[in-house]
Amino acid sequence: MKQTNFLILFFLTFLFIPELFAQQKYTLSGTIRDAATGETLIGATVKLQNADHTFGKAANDYGFYSLSGEGGEYTMTVSYAGYLTYRKQISLVGDLKINVGLDPANSLQEVVISAKDRRNDNVKSAQMGLEKLNMRDLDNVPVLFGEKDVLKTIQLMPGVKSGGEGNTGFFVRGGAADQNLILLDEATVYNSSHLLGFFSTFNSDAIKDVSLYKGGMPAQFGGRLSSVLDVKMQDGNSKEFGVEGGIGLIASRIKVEGPIIKDKASFMVSARRTYIDLLLKASSDSSINSNTLNFYDINAKVNYRFDDKNTLFLSGYFGQDNIGIKDLFANDWGNTTATVRLNHVFNSKLFSNTSFIFNKYHYAIELLDKDNNARVTSLIRDFNLKEDLQYFTNQHVFRFGAQATHHRIAPSDITTTGNSSINPLSVENRYGLEMAGYVSDEWKLNNKLELLYGVRISSFSLLGPGTIRTYDAGGDIVDSYDAKRGSFVKTYVYAEPRFSASYSLNEENSVKASYNRNTQNIHILTNANTSSPTDQYVMSSNNIKPEISDQVAMGYFKNAKDNTYEFSAEIYYKWLQNQIDYKNGAELIANAEVESELLYGKGRAYGLELYLKKTKGKLTGWVSYTLAKTERQFDGLNGGNYFPAKQDRTHDLSLVGIYNFSSRWTFSANYVYSTGNAVTYPAGKYSTGGLTTYYYTERNANRMPYTSRLDISATLKARETKKYQSSWSFGLYNALNRKNPYAITFRDSKQDPTRTEAVQTSLFGIIPSVTYNFKF
């Protein structure tokens, strides 16, 4: 009922859009690009100003903007962080189209300009819970092995917790790792890690923009409970040909980009590969040099501008990890994505994007031992069709669209050769269809109040064919039948309201509030804290209900000293329903009846996030602090009481400082402190089967020791020539060489076997790195 009211209200708003009846309104539209490379600038601000009026809008994901206002003389300004502001006198006496090229500021100018131009965006916009990663900061934040990485840098933001030391897995506002929707050019990246999590699948050379939505999720996004990490690839330089790359300790990268037809078509190809195994190959020992351990990935994108109204983008990603031990074992896994997009500008106010997306994640494990040989493969793949429309008016940006995604999960296929102990096995495929329609409105009511509200109607259907079993709470089959191909086995439909509002107290202070509901139908069953290559994916079904979260958040946003300082404080509370865990001793791999092993429960998460950023001056950087709690409750676990989730950490503090010492030297440091993870320690011990065994009482009631780490780096720019730029980055990870806890094990003491001791394993001590980057 409530939802119906909401919808009626929503459509009424549409009917009575005031400006439909207003007179003499004209529209200014166009595309904002980097003048040097032709890359579109996402979120660049366009403003029109005269004595009577000031209004502005941000460019959309494709650099397109549209502004409507009363006819007259205006000063048009276009600004974007890191670029020189563009100013022009215009007379809006009819619909106008102006495409703008912004000149990048050099590093010193940037310091002066960046802040001024994004003036109070963070304060004014209704969007909250959004973290935008500045790709330039990424170059300077010190990281493990010197491999700059968007996922590791995003972990330094408030409300985002690292999945473990050096790990790219992350948790947002108490959500699980599988509750993050990770998009690369709109394609879902199911497993975003390389080398068991120490590197992410995102090669930062190829990336233009990274946004993380922790809350206040806009209606165009859905399908995961906790966050959306929206990563966009570069389009490729449409002005001139260029090569850049880097040589590091672990991996090297190269990127080639350039125009195919100047200002009309361009391409970008970026590739990366590790070479640990090349070092192994250098060994003369055949048992070492025939092992494999590597990953590589390739990002590629081509775009073609037919005319000002139509642009086609093709983009793709392919990545693969390989691990192998001679004659024993081989494991490979990777993601493949492909996105075809067509931008069409219907008119100066209506912008459309149509996307067709393919993505796949697969893994294969091969046991090479003759007696026990087997090859186990598993995959999840999606076909996804999306239509997204944006309609720009004076006070509103309406956004509406529809999506349909077809999923296929092939849980496990086992094949063997010769005389293996292991039998061939194929767990039947599961098919699913996700559909969604959404409408939203970004509404500037007046100078003070801005709203972003909408609704997403989402549905999920489990499709046949397949053997459909229903289990009772004990995991026993109560019903079983064979569903026909294409039949709808089970369908869930949800309305997901999304709402956020900002109220500006004055130019530099605002308060914001948001509420959003999200649902999720693809779930990962995992033992580990973060993603592992052999994660098992399951869909919602007759047994598994969609996960649901409701989040409310409030925040206070402040800018000071002409945007030199940006401050925000947000609090949130999240209710989670239909959370999934599994019984003790559950067998997850290659189990057709895996749904019989599951437990369902609920969760809650709440916290406070503080963020202070200094955006200009010689010293820039930020401090982020999170105070949080996240708990789960399952009938079959911990006596039915709430217990801390594995990722529950009370305090998380990150400090990042970047000091531009001179035009050649940049120094940077980051420091992180976090409370230890929630773990279950034994409450006693006893003997069973001749072994000392531990007795456990409350789940996750104990804490690992805290983590504290300082990383530093220095970047030296070599003297530039017209043709060639290069720089050296030197880094020290864990500069204080603190032994941070990675795991705690209990065992009989080696000195005195009658005693038990707790042993802490640490991964990384101090690790130096050096990287050489070049561009020509």
Partner 1 sequence: MKRLIYLSILFVGFLVWSSCEKVIDVKLDTAPNQMVIEGNITDQNEAQLIKISQSVPYTDQNVFPAVKGAKVTVTDDVGHLWTFEEREPGSYTSVPFKGISGRTYSLKVDVSNTQYTGISIMPKRVHLDSLSLKVFTFGGKDVKQLQVHYNDPAAEVNQYRWVMKINNVQTKRVFVGNDRFTNGNNVAELLYYSKDDDNKELLSGDEVQVEMQCIDKAIYNYWFTLSEQTKNGPGGGVTPGNPPSNINHNALGYFSAHTTEKVSYKVK
HSE-CB at 465 with a 13 A cutoff on CA atoms is: 5
- Residue range at the interface with partner 1 (CB under 8 A); choices 14-22, 193-201, 218-226, 389-397: 193-201
Task: Kindly write out the interface string for residues 312-351 of this chain, putting x where it contacts partner 1 by CB under 8 A and - elsewhere.
Answer: -----------x-xxxxx-x--------------------
Please tell me what DSSP assigns to residue 205.
G
If the CB atoms of residues 258 and 644 are measured against partner 1, the closer one turns out to be 644
Residue selected from 425, 513, 554, 655 as contacting partner 1 according to rule CB under 8 A? 425
Q: How far is the CB of 307 from partner 1 (least distance, A)?
A: 51
Does 195 participate in binding partner 1 (rule CB under 8 A)? Answer: yes
Greatest pairwise CA separation for the chain in angstroms? 90
Matching residue, tokens 């990384």: 764
Q: How far is the CB of 199 from partner 1 (least distance, A)?
A: 11
Read off the tokens for 254. 């190269």
Shortest CA distance to 117 belongs to which of 90, 84, 76? Answer: 84
If the CB atoms of residues 523 and 646 are measured against partner 1, the closer one turns out to be 646
The separation between CA 167 and the C-alpha centre of its own chain, rounded to angstroms, equals 14
Of residues 502-561, those binding partner 1 (CB under 8 A): 527-530, 534
Residue selected from 313, 497, 741, 773 as contacting partner 1 according to rule CB under 8 A? 741
Residues in the chain: 776
Does 748 participate in binding partner 1 (rule CB under 8 A)? Answer: yes
Residue selected from 18, 617, 640, 753 as contacting partner 1 according to rule CB under 8 A? 753
Does 764 participate in binding partner 1 (rule CB under 8 A)? Answer: yes
Of residues 135-154, those binding partner 1 (CB under 8 A): none
Read off the tokens for 96. 């106008």
Does 285 participate in binding partner 1 (rule CB under 8 A)? Answer: yes
- Residue range at the interface with partner 1 (CB under 8 A); choices 195-203, 301-309, 354-362, 565-573: 195-203
Q: How far is the CB of 741 from partner 1 (least distance, A)?
A: 6
Does 474 participate in binding partner 1 (rule CB under 8 A)? Answer: no
Of residues 569-608, those binding partner 1 (CB under 8 A): 584-585, 587, 589-591
Compute φ and ψ for 472, nearest 5 degrees. -85, 180
Does 735 participate in binding partner 1 (rule CB under 8 A)? Answer: no
Q: How far is the CB of 528 from partner 1 (least distance, A)?
A: 7
- Residue range at the interface with partner 1 (CB under 8 A); choices 43-51, 371-379, 499-507, 560-568: 371-379
Read off the tokens for 203. 């090669």
Of residues 665-694, those binding partner 1 (CB under 8 A): 676-677, 679-694
Q: Report the C-alpha gap between 185 and 187 in whole angstroms.
A: 6
Residue selected from 153, 699, 713, 715 as contacting partner 1 according to rule CB under 8 A? 699
Of residues 286-315, those binding partner 1 (CB under 8 A): 287-288, 291, 293
Residue selected from 68, 79, 127, 167 as contacting partner 1 according to rule CB under 8 A? 167
Q: How far is the CB of 689 from partner 1 (least distance, A)?
A: 7
Q: Report the C-alpha gap between 563 and 303 in whole angstroms.
A: 36
The separation between CA 163 and the C-alpha centre of its own chain, rounded to angstroms, equals 13
Does 418 participate in binding partner 1 (rule CB under 8 A)? Answer: no
Read off the tokens for 706. 């805290």
Angle at 709 between CA 707 and CA 710, to 5 degrees: 165
Q: Report the C-alpha gap between 374 and 590 in whole angstroms.
A: 13
Which ranges constitute the DSSP H helices of 501-570?
none
Q: Report the C-alpha gap between 548 and 218 in whole angstroms.
A: 16
Residue selected from 372, 417, 447, 641 as contacting partner 1 according to rule CB under 8 A? 372
Please tell me what DSSP assigns to residue 116.
H
Read off the tokens for 651. 């305090």
Shortest CA distance to 613 belongs to which of 570, 656, 666, 553? Answer: 656
Distances 352 to 232, 272, 341, 389, 390 between C-alpha atoms, Å: 18, 33, 10, 4, 6
Shortest CA distance to 120 belongs to which of 617, 610, 613, 560? Answer: 560
Of residues 16-75, those binding partner 1 (CB under 8 A): none
- Residue range at the interface with partner 1 (CB under 8 A); choices 21-29, 120-128, 241-249, 750-758: 750-758
If the CB atoms of residues 366 and 387 are measured against partner 1, the closer one turns out to be 366
Does 642 participate in binding partner 1 (rule CB under 8 A)? Answer: no
Q: How far is the CB of 173 from partner 1 (least distance, A)?
A: 18
Task: Kindly write out the interface string for residues 111-140 of this chain, putting x where it contacts partner 1 by CB under 8 A and - elsewhere.
Answer: ------------------------------
If the CB atoms of residues 312 and 528 are measured against partner 1, the closer one turns out to be 528
Does 737 participate in binding partner 1 (rule CB under 8 A)? Answer: no
Shortest CA distance to 404 belongs to which of 356, 366, 362, 443? Answer: 356
CB-based contact 155:161 (threshold 8 Å): yes
Q: Report the C-alpha gap between 142 and 156 in whole angstroms.
A: 11
| Exposed/middle/buried for residue 470 (C-beta within 10 Å: 0-12, 13-18, 19+) | middle
Query: Could you please report the per-residue DSSP string of 373-401?
Result: -EEEEEEEEEEEEEEEEEEE-SSEEEEEE
- Residue range at the interface with partner 1 (CB under 8 A); choices 112-120, 178-186, 436-444, 758-766: 758-766
- Residue range at the interface with partner 1 (CB under 8 A); choices 50-58, 225-233, 608-616, 739-747: 739-747
Read off the tokens for 296. 């590589």
- Residue range at the interface with partner 1 (CB under 8 A); choices 151-159, 238-246, 415-423, 555-563: 415-423
Residue selected from 22, 260, 477, 743 as contacting partner 1 according to rule CB under 8 A? 743
Matching residue, tokens 């539209």: 29
CB-based contact 153:133 (threshold 8 Å): yes
Buried (b) or exposed (e) across 26-46, using 16+ Cβ within 10 A?
bbbbbbbbbbebbbbbbbbbb
Q: How far is the CB of 143 from partner 1 (least distance, A)?
A: 15
Q: How far is the CB of 378 from partner 1 (least distance, A)?
A: 13
- Residue range at the interface with partner 1 (CB under 8 A); choices 45-53, 191-199, 231-239, 297-305: 191-199
